[in-house]
Every structure is written in C-alpha cells, then in structure tokens.
C-alpha cells in the first residue's frame, strides 16, 4: 500500500479528526493550566484517569467511562479542596497517591488482554473507531465552547484571584469550572497520547505560547496553533516513518517549547484581556 493510499484509509482519517479535536481542547485549556500554575494538577488527573480506565476494564466497561468518572471526580475534589493556593499541592498529592493505589489494585486483579491497559498508558490514536471519534469530538467541542463562554471570568480569576474575589467573583466556582474543563480535556487527550504523555500535550504548547507573548488572547491562539501543528505533524510522521504517534506529537510539542525558549527575547508586553 502506498503512502497516499494509507492516508486515505478510514483509520488514518479517524485519527486525523481525533487529534484535531484533542489539540483544540488541549491548547485552549492548557493555556489556563500554565497561567494558573497548575501543571501538577494536570499531571495528577491523567494518572487518576488511568485508575478509572483500569477499573472500567476490570468491570468489562469501556475505558472512557472510567476515565470520565474518575477524572471528573478528581477534578471536582481538587477544585473544591484546592481552591486555596496553600492547600492545593496537598490536595492534589493525596488525590494522586490514592488513585495510583487503586490503579495498582485494579491492574493486579485484571487477567484479560494486556493491550487494553497498554493503550490507556500510551494512547491508541490509530485505533480510534468512529464511535470513539464521535465521543472525542463532542467532548472537545463542549470544552472549547465552555472556554469561550467562561473566558473573561476564568482569566480574571486566574490572573488576580484576590481582585476577582473582591469584585464578587467566586474563585471557588472558577476553580471548579477550570478543573472540570481540565478533567474532560484529559479524558479526550488520553485517547491520543495516553496517560504517560498527556501532560506534555496540555502543557508544552501553552508554555511555548506564554514565552512568545503575554497577551492572553494571543497566547491562547498560539497555544492552540502549536497544539494543532504538533498533532498533525506527529500523526503524519507516525504514519510515514512508523513509531508511536504519541511520541512524535509530544516530541514536536516539546521542541516547540524549546525553540520558543531559545528564541531572542521579546520586549515585555502588558497583560490584557
């Protein structure tokens, strides 16, 4: 089969639309992850999702069911308990360790085909079915719409929480909104890059964008563009040269951040909405 024929196959086309949907959501939410300095929470929710997916596989359910339940539960727990900056790391750390313990238990009890848990860890983008694609697309669209609707209050609470609270904006509510968006984005991103690499897709494009510009709208746009480029180029390289697509995606995203850091410094830009 030629390369052009390979690109026209249904599983590659499903993979293309899946990585596009995931990159849009990851780029948008990832910007707020970096802005709020909650990379540790993003890392933790991915591992919590692994425990949920392993539990669902153990019960004979779809992994995405476990991902949604555990990621949303962890997101709400961290959002409520970690709204205060002083408590955030402790809440995230305890949630992470508890989830890892459950994940180990579920894996030890599971005696089925190991590929089910392997795909959770490393992603299965070239194995995305039409049904999976619909779920990923719907969740990604929901995330992008939610970010659009909550952009200004979420940005205000992220940049200056004290001033936002003084003006009557509930920082706890914004924390819950953000953690919910992060949880759903993690669920869809795990389908592409897996638990072990989801952190890089969420953080690297947004971190590169923050280096390039401090203007929120511009940085959000750059984060989405870098995430999309990483996803598309990673899929193309994976199909053309072999190797895990998740590796290519994360390698390109990380290289984008490195390039932004090594580029000549820009003049300071005033942060504005």
Tokens 């750390």 belong to: 93
Cα–Cα dist 197/59, whole Å: 25
Paired tokens of 70: 């555990």
pLDDT tens readout for residues 10-59: 778 888 888 899 899 999 999 999 998 888 888 788 778 778 888 887 88
> Is residue 268, in this structure, part of any structural domain at all?
no
Number of structural domains in the chain: 1
- Domain range for 17: 3-262
Q: What is the dihedral of CA 33, 193, 257, 144, to 10 degrees?
A: -40
DSSP 8-state secondary structure symbol assigned to residue 63: H
Q: Establish if 43 belongs to a structural domain.
A: yes
The pTM for the full model equals 0.81
Per-residue pLDDT at 132: 78
Q: Per the domain annotation, does 272 fall within a domain?
A: no
Mean pLDDT along residues 212-233: 92
25 lies in a domain?
Answer: yes
pLDDT digits (tens, 9 = 90+) for 159-179: 888 888 888 888 888 888 998
Mean pLDDT of 62-69: 81
CA dihedral 131, 137, 140, 145 (to 10 degrees): -130
Please give the pLDDT value at position 270.
44
- Quote the CA–CA distance of 74 and 89 in Å, as a whole number: 13
More confident residue, 139 or 80: 139
Residue 147 falls inside a structural domain: yes
**Average pLDDT estimate for 232-242:** 87
Q: What pLDDT, on the 0 to 100 scale, is given for residue 272?
A: 45
Does residue 269 lie within any of the structural domains?
no
Tell me what pLDDT residue 5 has.
59
Cβ density class 215-224: b for 16+ within 10 Å, e for less: ebeebbbbbb
CATH number at residue 155: 1.10.3470.10
pLDDT of residue 176: 87
Task: Identify whether 271 is part of a domain.
Answer: no
Mean pLDDT of 100-123: 69
Phi, psi dihedrals of residue 117, rounded to the nearest 5° = -80, -30
> In b/e form, how buried is each residue of 53-91, taking b as 16+ CB within 10 angstroms?
bbbbbbeeeebbebbbbbbbbbbebbbebbbeeeebeeb
Q: Would you say residue 273 lies in a domain?
A: no
Which pLDDT does position 81 carry in this prediction? 64
Structural contact between residues 136 and 186, judged by C-beta atoms closer than 8 angstroms: no
């Amino acid at each position: 089969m030629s390369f052009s024929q390979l690109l026209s196959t249904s599983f590659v086309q499903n993979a293309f639309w899946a990585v596009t949907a995931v990159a849009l959501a990851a780029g948008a939410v990832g910007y707020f992850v970096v802005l709020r300095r909650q990379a540790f929470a993003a890392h933790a929710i991915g591992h919590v999702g692994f425990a949920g997916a392993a539990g669902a596989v153990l019960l004979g359910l779809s992994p995405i069911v476990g991902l949604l339940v555990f990621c949303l539960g962890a997101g709400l727990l961290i959002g409520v308990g970690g709204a205060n900056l002083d408590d955030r790391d402790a809440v995230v750390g305890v949630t992470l360790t508890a989830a890892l313990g459950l994940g180990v238990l579920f894996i030890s009890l599971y005696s089925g085909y190991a590929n089910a848990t392997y795909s959770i860890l490393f992603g299965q983008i070239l194995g995305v079915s039409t049904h999976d694609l619909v779920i990923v697309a719907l969740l990604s669209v929901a995330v992008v719409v939610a970010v659009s609707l909550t952009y200004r209050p979420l940005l205000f609470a992220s940049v200056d929480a004290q001033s936002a609270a003084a003006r009557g904006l509930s920082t706890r509510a914004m924390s819950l909104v953000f953690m919910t968006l992060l949880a759903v984005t993690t669920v869809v991103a795990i389908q592409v890059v897996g638990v072990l690499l989801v952190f890089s897709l969420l953080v690297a494009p947004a971190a590169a964008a923050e280096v390039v510009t401090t203007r929120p709208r511009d940085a959000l746009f750059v984060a989405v563009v870098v995430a999309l480029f990483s996803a598309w180029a990673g899929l193309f390289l994976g199909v053309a040269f072999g190797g895990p697509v998740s590796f290519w995606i994360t390698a390109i995203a990380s290289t984008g951040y490195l390039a932004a850091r090594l580029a000549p410094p820009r003049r300071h830009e005033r942060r504005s909405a």
